[in-house]
Amino acid sequence: MFGRKNTANTADAAAEYKTAKKALHDNQRAEKAAGIREETDTFHALNGRVLETEKNVPWYRR
């Protein structure tokens, strides 16, 4: 019940989450530099990806 989760899967999930979050932040910087202040479809897609990958990462690894 309280056993350890597979750390290899957790490490992979954490790496995937980190990659998705970096893509979101890179897009944010690019859109801000271009003068875009509204939420774009790209933003929504990248933000959705971050939220999906976040589910597989424990709170202490975020």
Q: Tens digit of pLDDT for each residue in 16-32? A: 999 999 999 999 999 99
Packing angle of the helix pair 7-33, 41-54 (nearest 10 deg)? 160
DSSP 6: -
Reported confidence tier of residue 60, pLDDT bands at 50, 70, 90? confident
Reported confidence tier of residue 5, pLDDT bands at 50, 70, 90? low
CA distance 47 to 19: 12
Report the pLDDT averaged over residues 28-50.
97
Burial of 23 from C-beta contacts in 10 A (0-12 / 13-18 / 19+): middle
Predicted model pTM: 0.82
Residue 53 phi, psi (nearest 5): -75, -25
- Please check the confidence at residue 38 and state whether its pLDDT lies above 90: yes
